[in-house]
């Protein structure tokens, strides 16, 4: 009888253990399903929550669908990666690699990323500093071997340092390198530095005293590229692969002026503002540290997660905790090493925007909230769309910044509007026809639909969809002579006929 009771008790115990394991498994399954449902809900919120840059006082910001905004802006493709809880949360792609061939964008599609290459170059530079091969605050000419920064009156009192180059305060111009088509000869890095043919730029030399002016300068990162190659004794593309890409697992990322044949079937093609395909699909940029990166949102998210983990004290795969914290700290105004850094505490964020012909990309990360987003597009209009996506992400994840701006409607004296009426020429075949109705201007470009522009000030007006600002300019006699149009960093000047 005792044996029977013992067996019965043992069976009961086993049933209880079995029940416990089933309960745990069920709880885990429910937890996974809950997390999956939450992620799906966030994706839906983002896809259906895009918002314009401005809205009128007394109204609520309208929420818009991603697919409709892609059509509106004539954006061929977009790829997103979301970071949550310091890890890659979700990735989703939309549209096509090529408006002609209709190949779909996938998470593995690579995009030209522009200035996303600058944090990579900064991380390599800081690793060389920690190895004792470079100094942040010594004269970089002491380390440059292939080429030297020309001495002039601006460097007489203080030399240019690595810190200056990283923070865009070395005094070089804000020249934007335009790239080269597939049929144009590609200059060497030395030819770019010297401004020698076939390079299309003038020689690189400082225009201001080092440290006196912070000015976005691709030229400074071109010089940084030569510095890293001289000190690292390898091409920058190899240094990046060895020191960052392979260690982080960035399998779809490389630095190169052009796309190798083995990668071309995975590469998105660039598109112009009117939605047409770039004739060469993409331009080539030998200025690798400034704008030579090809990557995916997924790979960039992995890089950012590793960077944040190191900044919080983890043993970094490619960077030390001290160097990671330096990259994510504002060193001069809002400049960090490779990033713009703003805010404080949990609301501190860092960001970077990348532009090349036919491509746009942006990343934005809140380390304290352990969240961020990477967006990449194959369109010159991509940044406008990405801004609307960021506003949707900010709303979905309760971020304190990146909300649409409320604007009040104003009415000017009719005589003021009358001064602006007329035709303005951007080019002989592209005219802006300006009319006045009620309390706003109506501007109709050649071959396009008219757009309403509302009063911001007596000389400045804005449109809502898309958000564009214009300003009327006068001569010394007070006559209106020009109209200046701004959309993002795109500027056009039209002469009044």
pLDDT in tens, 250-305: 999 999 999 999 999 999 999 998 999 999 999 999 999 999 999 999 999 999 99
Q: What per-residue confidence (pLDDT) applies to 253?
A: 98
Tell me the pLDDT tens digit for each residue of 229-238: 999 999 999 9
Residue 352, domain member (yes or no):
yes
Claim to verify: residue 149 and residue 126 sit in the same structural domain? yes
Residue 409 lies in a domain: no
Do residue 32 and residue 181 come from a single domain?
Answer: no
What pLDDT, on the 0 to 100 scale, is given for residue 18? Answer: 46
* 198's tokens: 């076939």
Is 305 part of a structural domain of the chain?
Answer: yes
Q: Residue 23 has what pLDDT? A: 60
Q: Cα separation of 65 and 91, whole Å?
A: 18
Residue 58 in any domain: the answer is: no
Last residue of a domain, one of 362, 382, 403: 403
pLDDT at 25: 56
Query: Using CA atoms, how far apart are residues 52 and 61, in angstroms rounded to an integer?
Result: 7
Q: Are 469 and 483 in contact (CB under 8 A)?
A: no
Chain CA centroid to CA 269, Å: 17
Q: How confident is the model at residue 99 (pLDDT cuts 50, 70, 90)?
A: confident
Contact assessment for residue 171 and residue 206, using Cβ atoms and an 8 Å cutoff: yes
Count the neighbouring beta carbons within 10 Å of the beta carbon of residue 181: 14
10: pLDDT strictly greater than 70: no
Question: What pLDDT, on a 0 to 100 scale, did the predictor assign at position 9?
Answer: 43
What does R_g of the chain's alpha carbons equal in angstroms? 27
Specify the number of domains making up the chain: 3
- pLDDT tier at 21, thresholds 50, 70, 90: low
Helix (H, G, I), strand (E, B) or coil at 84: strand
Do 422 and 399 have their domain in common? no
Quote the longest CA-to-CA distance of the chain.
116
What is the tens place of the pLDDT at every residue in 458-469? 999 999 998 999
Domain boundary among 375, 403, 431: 403
Average pLDDT over residues 311-322: 92
What is the pLDDT at residue 2?
41
Mean pLDDT of 31-41: 79
Q: Are residues 358 and 242 part of one domain? A: yes
Angle separating helix axes 382-396 and 66-73, nearest 10 degrees? 160
Tokens 């060497």 sit on residue: 188
Q: Are residues 7 and 107 in the same domain?
A: no
Tell whether the model's pLDDT for residue 16 goes beyond 80. Answer: no
Task: Please give the pLDDT value at position 117.
Answer: 98
Residue 270 located in a structural domain:
yes
Is the domain of 6 the same as that of 129?
A: no
* 92 shares its domain with 239: yes
Domain stops at, among 403, 436, 469:
403
- CATH code of the domain covering residue 430: 2.40.128.50
Give me the half-sphere count of Cα atoms (radius 13 Å) on the Cβ side of residue 12.
6
The rounded distance, in Å, linking the Cα atoms of 43 and 51 is 15
On whether the CB atoms of residues 137 and 163 are closer than 8 A, the answer is: yes
**Residue 37 banded pLDDT, cuts 50, 70, 90:** confident
Q: Give residue-wise pLDDT tens across range 374-415.
A: 999 999 999 999 999 999 999 999 999 999 999 999 999 999
Structure tokens at 458: 């007596």
- pLDDT above 60 (res 433): yes
Return the CATH number at 104: 3.40.710.10
Are 42 and 103 members of one domain?
no
SS3 of 14, please? helix
Do the Cβ atoms of 385 and 70 come closer than 8 Å? yes
Q: What's the pLDDT at 235? A: 98
pLDDT of residue 447: 86
pLDDT band at 491 (very low <50, low <70, confident <90, very high): confident
Extended strands (E) in 113-177:
none
Give the tokens for residue 195: 């401004």
Q: Is the pLDDT of residue 332 over 80?
A: yes
| Same domain, yes or no: 383 and 490 | no
- Whether 357 maps to a domain, the answer reads yes
Residues 147 and 288 in one domain: yes
pLDDT, position 34 = 79
- Average pLDDT, whole number, for the chain? 92
The answer to whether position 59 is within a domain reads no
Q: 154 and 19, same structural domain?
A: no
Query: What are 170-204's pLDDT values in tens digits?
Result: 999 999 999 999 999 999 999 999 999 999 999 99
Minimal CA–CA distance to 66: which of 410, 408, 388?
388
pTM, 2 dp: 0.89
Tell whether 350 and 426 lie within a shared domain.
no
Place of tokens 């060193």: 331
Is residue 243, in this structure, part of any structural domain at all?
Answer: yes
Range of the domain at 242: 68-403
């Amino acid at each position: 009888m005792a044996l029977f009771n013992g067996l019965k008790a043992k069976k009961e115990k086993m049933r209880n253990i079995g029940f416990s394991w089933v309960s745990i498994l069920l709880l885990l399954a429910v937890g996974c399903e809950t997390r999956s449902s939450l992620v799906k809900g966030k994706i839906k919120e983002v896809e259906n929550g895009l918002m314009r840059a401005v809205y009128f006082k007394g109204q609520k910001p309208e929420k818009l669908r991603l697919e409709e905004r892609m059509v509106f802006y004539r954006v061929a493709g977009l790829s997103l990666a979301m970071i949550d809880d310091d890890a890659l949360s979700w990735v989703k792609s939309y549209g096509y690699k090529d408006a002609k061939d209709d190949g779909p964008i996938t998470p593995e599609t690579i995009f030209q990323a522009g200035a996303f290459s600058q944090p990579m170059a900064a991380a390599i530079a800081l690793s060389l500093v920690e190895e004792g091969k470079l100094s942040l605050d010594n004269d970089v000419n002491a380390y440059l071997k292939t080429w030297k920064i020309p001495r002039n009156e601006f460097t007489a009192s203080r030399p240019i340092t690595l810190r200056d180059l990283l923070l865009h305060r070395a005094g070089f111009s804000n020249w934007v390198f335009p790239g080269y088509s597939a049929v144009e000869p590609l200059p060497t890095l030395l030819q770019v530095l010297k401004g020698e043919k076939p390079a299309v730029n003038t020689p690189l030399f400082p225009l201001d005293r080092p440290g006196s002016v912070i000015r976005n300068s691709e030229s400074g990162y071109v010089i940084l590229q030569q510095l890293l190659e001289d000190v690292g004794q390898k091409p920058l593309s190899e240094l990046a692969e060895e020191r960052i890409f392979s260690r982080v697992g960035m399998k779809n990322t490389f630095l190169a002026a052009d796309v190798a044949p083995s990668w071309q079937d995975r590469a998105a093609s660039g598109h112009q503002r009117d939605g047409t395909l770039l004739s060469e699909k993409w331009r080539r940029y030998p200025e690798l540290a400034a704008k030579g990166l090809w990557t995916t949102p997924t790979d960039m998210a992995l890089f950012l997660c590793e960077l944040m983990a190191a900044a919080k004290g983890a043993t970094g795969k490619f960077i030390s905790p001290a160097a990671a914290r330096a990259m994510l700290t504002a060193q001069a105004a809002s400049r960090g090493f490779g990033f713009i850094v703003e805010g404080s505490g949990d609301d501190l964020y860092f960001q970077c925007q990348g532009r090349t012909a036919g491509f746009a990309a942006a990343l934005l990360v809140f380390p304290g909230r352990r969240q961020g987003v990477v967006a990449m597009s194959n369109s010159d209009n991509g940044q406008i769309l990405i801004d609307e996506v960021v506003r949707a992400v900010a709303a979905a994840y309760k971020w304190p910044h990146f909300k649409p701006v409320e604007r009040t409607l104003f009415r000017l004296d009719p005589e003021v509007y009358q001064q602006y009426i007329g035709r303005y020429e951007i080019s002989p075949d592209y005219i802006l026809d300006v009319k006045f109705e009620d309390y706003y201007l109506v501007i109709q470009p050649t071959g396009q639909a008219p757009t309403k522009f509302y009063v911001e000030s007596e000389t400045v007006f804005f449109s809502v969809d898309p958000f564009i600002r214009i300003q009327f300019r006068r001569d010394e006699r007070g006559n209106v002579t020009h109209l200046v149009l701004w959309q993002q960093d795109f500027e056009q000047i039209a002469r009044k006929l």
